Amino acid sequence: MDPSTTGIQEPFDLIRLSLSERVFVKLRGDRELTGILHAYDGHMNLILSDVEETIMMVDPVDENFEGQGTVKVAKRKMEMLFVRGDGVILVSPPSRT
């Protein structure tokens, strides 16, 4: 795609164009968020609303079975959330499908 038409020249542009849209955020500690992006800064600190968090936990009892461990998934919702940037692995814009 031509950068002059998408307006995307550097990584942060992708995040800027996702403002007020629902984004997917992958975090350290096997956590994922989806939420509407309202603010970010250069540290990738984020402020999201209407957030759903998914935490993946591997049941340690089954861990010896060569990666066959049962993964427990916990979900919770939060209305308005500040996310500290040092935990952020990736921010992905909404799917356009």
Partner 1 sequence: MASLQGYVDRRVLLVLQDGRVIVGTLVGFDQKSNVVLSESKERVYSMEEGVEEIPLGLYLVKGDMIVLIGEIDDAIDEAVDLATIHAEPILPIRY
Partner 2 sequence: MLIFSVFKTLTDQRVTVELKNDLSISGVLKSVDQFLNIRLDSIKVLDETRHPHMMAVKNCFIRGSVVRYVQLPAEHVDTQLLEDATRREAANQTRR
Query: Each residue of 19-45: b (16+ CB within 10 Å) or e?
Result: eeebbebebeeebbbbbbbeebeeebe
Report, in Å, the least distance between residue 55 CB and partner 2: 10
12 binds partner 2 (CB under 8 A): yes
Binding partner of residue 40 among partner 2, partner 1, none, CB cut-off 5 to 8 Å per kind: partner 2
Q: Does 79 bind partner 2 (CB under 8 A)?
A: yes
Judge whether 91 and 44 are in contact, CB under 8 Å.
yes
Binding of residue 93 to partner 1 (CB under 8 A): no
Residues 85 and 94: their CA atoms lie apart, in Å, by 19
Site size toward partner 2 (CB under 8 A) is: 24
Q: Closest distance between partner 2 and the C-beta of residue 62, in Å?
A: 22
> Could you give the CA distance from residue 62 to residue 69 in angstroms, rounded to a whole number?
4
Tell me how far, at minimum, the Cβ of 82 lies from partner 1, in Å. Answer: 15
5, two tokens: 């038409």
Rank residues 18 and 27 by Cβ distance to partner 1 and give the closer one: 27
Q: Which residues bind partner 1 (CB under 8 A)?
A: 28-29, 86-87
